[in-house]
Amino acid sequence: MSDVLTRAATAAIRYRTGVPPQLRPPAAPRHFVGRGDELAAVRAGGVTVVSGPGGVGKTALALKWLQDRGSGDQLYVDLAVREPLGDLLRAFGLSDVEVDESVALFRSLTARRQFTLLLDNADSAEQVTPLLPASGTVLVTSRSKLNLPQAQEIHLEPLADDGRLEELLDLSYVELPERQARLYRLCAWQPDTFGVPVAAAIAGEPECDVEDALDDLVEKSLLTEVGDAFRFHELVRAHARTKR
Ligand SMILES: Nc1ncnc2c1ncn2[C@@H]1O[C@H](COP(=O)(O)OP(=O)(O)OP(=O)(O)O)[C@@H](O)[C@H]1O
Ligand SMILES: [Mg+2]
């Protein structure tokens, strides 16, 4: 048996004990609204691309679909991070994989199991194609139409009622404990990504408390985690900046 297959088999055994924590999907927004037709249109057992402009709700829709579907084997990969395939393999305990062997290893690993894969923030069809497993369900989100062969495309338009998102964010905001609410307001003035030390300095609080509070904001879909740092979605940042 080739080295690639041996390594894939070893990783598959590890996988049987559960999806690695780094690859578990984040929670869907707590107060998800609408999108009934789009949720119904996502096909189990195929590839669906959810496209639409920034902030329209692609990731929220995909996460909601995963959540409604139940647990099962669900993997979440943010393609905006530097090395998504390398990260995926490392999460399965496969390190030092040569670039030309990584696609084969990933396919062999995923061929053994039906699972649901969410590829978030895709830029192009070329970026996605090597990550499509032989079977299972794949959801891809992208600001562009990707024209992937044999994939269905769902194009999202903004939610009909424009004030609705603000109302939803308000619902989440009023439920925040004080430390989280304060960080939400203060960190929104950071123009870009920020790490725990910056947030702790702004808030004048210990890094460990701030880290927990930021993780909770991510959990509540009010903040996005990007590697070791955090950032606000533009619409959420605008909302946070209205709070005093
Ligand atoms: N249907 C919905 N119900 C409740 N909240 C929603 C809904 N759609 C989007 N949101 C909220 O709106 C914000 C932006 O949505 P989301 O992050 O899904 O946008 P996106 O289309 O993935 O943007 P990007 O292209 O930047 O990745 C998030 O805070 C999300 O939780
Ligand atoms: Mg998104």
The position carrying tokens 């109302």 is 167
CA of 58 to the centre of ligand 1 (A): 6
Q: Which of 27, 186, 21, 11 is nearest to 106 (CA)?
A: 11
Q: Provide the pLDDT for residue 183.
A: 97
Ligand 1 pocket check: which of 31, 33, 42, 56 to mutate, most ligand atoms within 8 Å of Cβ?
A: 56
- Tell me, in angstroms, the distance from the centre of ligand 1 to residue 100's CA: 35
Tokens coding 143? 């600001």
Q: By three-state DSSP, how is residue 94 classified? A: coil
- Grouping H, G, I as helix, E, B as strand and the rest as coil, residue 229 is strand
Q: Is 165's C-beta closer than 6 angstroms to any atom of ligand 1?
A: yes
* 108 within ligand 1 shell (Cβ under 6 A): no
Convert the pLDDT of each residue in 143-199 to its tens digit. 998 888 889 999 998 876 666 778 888 989 999 999 999 999 999 999 889 999 999
Q: Which domains does the chain have, with CATH numbers?
A: 3-155 (3.40.50.300), 164-241 (1.10.10.10)
- Alpha carbon distances (Å) from 50 to 57, 153, 186: 9, 6, 32
pTM of the model: 0.74
Span 99-129, pLDDT tens digits = 778 888 887 777 767 788 899 999 999 989 8
For every residue of 130-144, which 3-state class applies, written as one string? HHCCCCCEEEEEECC
